[in-house]
Structure 1
Amino acid sequence: MKVLKGRDILALGFMTFALFVGAGNIIFPPIVGLQAGPHVWMAALGFLVTAVGLPVITVIALAKVGGAMDALSSPIGRVAGGILAAVCYLAVGPLFATPRTATVSFEVGLAPLTGDSPMALFLYSLAYFAVVFWVSLYPGRLLDTVGRFLAPLKIFALAVLGIAAFALPAGDVGIAEPAYAAAPFSQGFINGYLTMDTLGALVFGIVIVNAIRSRGVESPALITRYAIIAGLIAGVGLALVYISLFRLGSGSHAVAAGASNGAAVLHAYVQHTFGSLGSGFLAVLISLACLVTAVGLTCACAEYFSQVLPLSYKALVLILALFSLLVSNLGLTKLIMFSIPVLTAIYPPCIVLVALSFCKDFWQSQSRIVAPVMLVAAVFGVIDAIKGAGFADSMPHTLANLPLSDQGLAWLVPSLMMLVVAFVVDRALGKPSEALA
């Protein structure tokens, strides 16, 4: 029976970590650290729950069902599961996340050096997606190209930044913003939720499992074990990155006071600490982070759609790379504007799906529980999305002011209520065979 060697397991963990850490993951923590001030570590705790805990749990849930999202969504039926999977893959693939990796890496890393012109963005994105296309053509080699080469480079760059954050703080901790002074854990929790890494985990699950299979491992039990280990390694890596970036942000008050986003905090700190090399270092770091994530997303999307469309994997890689290239040239502002409402609507039912997958032994019938709770989560997720898109004034007052709606969690209370109702109905009906009898 084929098993992975220790170095292969470590490379798999590095690959999983590298797939998750995109530019958004690097930009969010510094601004939280800056704005949380002396409450930074309580905010960090909330952030880690949603930005590390949920993605790792999602990887584990997928590993238990073989890595494919359609296996995880089987309780809601083939059609609904297919629609959910397609929407998730498109959203975190060619429509939003993959193009955004190029625009973020350009605007954060290279625009300060080359100028923020449409031609500069086009030339950068053309070269960027050419590399994404070439690496993604060979998914069986992903463990080698990402796990053994790109991921270590990315980890090295992040390690340099993380060590510098603790060894060379730019100054003292500043005063907390009012929101963080009042509820630091809640604010951190919300910001971690907005990284959308759980959606990424749903997409990357099949990439991780296929990377294990590419080494000749066929045992489902071993595949699950290795995927869980990879998820845990990635979780530890993510936590270390986030903690160091929180420290970077909290100590940057003297050089980045008033910064409106994490990119500005990073620029200020790196320029202050590394001088003239700062911008170049940041450009390499962000580009590496985004490139690896883009490769993972492209491989995952091509793998999925090659199974449901009459197109080959390589043809889909080309189509996805070209489409992502076109969308990336819309610019970061428009991409974020379009993506936030859509992702806000998708996220709640996906969280429900992952959470309930661990409780399947408690139900008489999974479909009776998962389907109605996911439906309620989706409906109220759409309400959150409409409000987040700026249409709160046109909504009924009750819907616009649901419990936890200010935190983007208006779906949580109705979903829990639906879970209780579904559980009672499930118990009353008994097992499906008994109900038919």
Structure 2
Amino acid sequence: MNTLTKKEIMFIGFMLFSMLFGAGNLIFPAYLGQAAGENVWQAVIGFIISDAGFAVLAFIAIAKSGTFDTLINRVHPIFALLFPMAIYLSIGPGLAIPRAGSLAFEMGVMPFLPNTIQSSPVGLLIYTVVFFSIVFWFAKSPSKLIDRFGKILTPALLVLIIIVFIKSLFTDLSSFKGATLAYKEKPISQGFIDGYQTMDAIGALIYGIVFTNMFKSKKINNQKLQVKYLAIFGLICGLLLTLCYLIIAYLGAATSIHGKVENGSVVLSTVLQQLFGQSGTIVLGLIFTLACLSVCIGLITSCAQYFSSIFPKLSYIKWAILLCLVSGFVANLGLSQILKVTVPVLGLLYPMAITLIILGLLHDRLPFNNRPVYVVTIGLVGLFSLIDVANSTLFNGSLSEVLSNVPMQDKGFGWVIPGLIGFIIGSIFEKLTYNKVTTVKKAA
């Protein structure tokens, strides 16, 4: 029976971390730290739970199920087609990859360009051509990802973040200020919702295909061993994510910024200038470039593997090229346009993804024929999430008064109650159906 060495396990855990840790993992905890101030530790706990916590749980759920396809097919064949398609499009060329490409340009290159080029679309165009060419070079050989991630990108990224943290310990930064916005009243729940923005729980679901193919290439066929390895990879990744979030949130909270802060990139720019002076811009540029490059490579790889399995007329290489081209095009639309659609899309997909992860973890304890539980639970969660998103985007909040009657809606978790109701209804329906079938068989 083939097994992995301890060194390989460590490098693969590092690889998973790099595949998840992108631009959002930098800017969102930095903004959280700045806004939460004295409540930073409560807020970052919520952030870690919804991000690193659910990423680890997603990996364990996939491991227990065997594959992502097995897990989603427990709901319905139509859901098994549409849900992963929506995830791959949103976390791939539609949102996450272009967002990373745009942020890598804005934070890694733009500060060093003349004003005339900064305001011109030519700079971004040239950068995205170079950036996605590098992404394709890394992604064209999935079998070499362990070496390229585990031995090059991840260590370099972690070293830079740790250097920044050590420097902060020997620098007189400002004390934590009072909490602002929702972090003042409900820091944990607000931090939890902020964790959605990184897309890591969804990313962990779709990265399963990368590791399934890796197990095949290394001829590791024992399912119990696969579950064990996936759980270890997830834990290594979760610990690394947690370490980075604690450091970045601390830096955000300890940064003194006057006036309104628009996003976490401003916070990071400010704190690195306070720590390293003008050289801080170079350090920040390197961190963003490595993080964005890593996550784009992982996403292109998993998306290309998925689409080549669904539409095999195009090979993996051709899909990788197509995805790089589409992502580069969308990235040139501008970061602000990309971010406008991020929140509503995640507001719809994330509750269903979390529900699916929980059901996958509880699968062994569900009724014998558990499809009704999956269908009704995820159906009601998806319906409520759709109404909630439509209320904020299409109806200008006209349904807010009605939705406010749902428990926990004010904290952003209104979908939990419909999910619990769906779970109860599905369980009762399955029990009644099972009893009826049993009675008929006994009578026969």
Kindly indicate whether the alpha-carbon contact (under 8 Å) linking 2:12 and 2:150 is maintained by their aligned counterparts in 1: yes
Instruction: Quote the offset at 1:207 in angstroms.
Output: 1.6
Aligned AA (2:102): T
Aligned twin of 2:318? 315
Counterpart of 1:417 (choices 397, 401, 421) is: 421
Aligned AA (2:77): R
Given the superposition, is the C-alpha separation of residues 337 and 237 from structure 1 closer, same or farther in structure 2, using an over 3 Å criterion? same
Give 5+ residue unaligned stretches, structure 1: none
Kindly indicate whether the alpha-carbon contact (under 8 Å) linking 2:51 and 2:196 is maintained by their aligned counterparts in 1: yes
Instruction: Quote the offset at 1:256 in angstroms.
Output: 5.6
Instruction: Quote the offset at 1:89 in angstroms.
Output: 0.9
Aligned twin of 2:20? 20
Instruction: Quote the offset at 1:116 in angstroms.
Output: 4.5
Aligned twin of 1:110? 109
Task: Within 5 Å, give how 1:44-63 maps onto structure 2.
Answer: 44-63=44-63
Task: Within 5 Å, give how 1:10-409 maps onto structure 2.
Answer: 10-66=10-66, 68-114=67-113, 115-168=118-171, 170-253=173-256, 255=257, 258-309=260-311, 310-362=313-365, 363-389=367-393, 391-395=395-399, 397-399=401-403, 402-409=406-413
Kindly indicate whether the alpha-carbon contact (under 8 Å) linking 1:365 and 1:431 is maintained by their aligned counterparts in 2: no
Aligned twin of 2:4? 4
Give 5+ residue unaligned stretches, structure 2: none
Identity among equivalent positions (%) equals: 33
Aligned AA (1:51): D
Given the superposition, is the C-alpha separation of residues 161 and 401 from structure 1 closer, same or farther in structure 2, using an over 3 Å criterion? farther
Using the size of structure 2 for normalisation, the TM-score is 0.93
Aligned AA (2:70): A
Cα deviation, 1:78-131, whole Å, max 9, x if unaligned, reads 232111111111111111111111011112232222225311111111111001
* Residue range with higher mean Cα deviation, 398-407 or 418-427: 398-407
Q: Provide the secondary structure at the position in 2 that maps to 1:147.
A: helix
Q: Distance in 2 between matches of 1:160 and 1:247?
A: 14
Q: Distance in 2 between matches of 1:149 and 1:99?
A: 23
Using the size of structure 1 for normalisation, the TM-score is 0.94
Instruction: Quote the offset at 1:372 in angstroms.
Output: 0.9
Root mean square deviation, CA, Å? 2.0
* Residue range with higher mean Cα deviation, 348-357 or 178-187: 178-187
The number of equivalent residue pairs is 435
Aligned AA (2:19): L
Q: Distance in 1 between matches of 2:107 and 2:276?
A: 16
Q: Provide the secondary structure at the position in 1 that maps to 2:123.
A: helix
Q: Distance in 1 between matches of 2:152 and 2:409?
A: 43
Q: Distance in 2 between matches of 1:15 and 1:53?
A: 17
Instruction: Quote the offset at 1:432 in angstroms.
Output: 9.2
Given the superposition, is the C-alpha separation of residues 217 and 393 from structure 1 closer, same or farther in structure 2, using an over 3 Å criterion? closer
Given the superposition, is the C-alpha separation of residues 7 and 63 from structure 1 closer, same or farther in structure 2, using an over 3 Å criterion? same
Instruction: Quote the offset at 1:161 in angstroms.
Output: 2.4
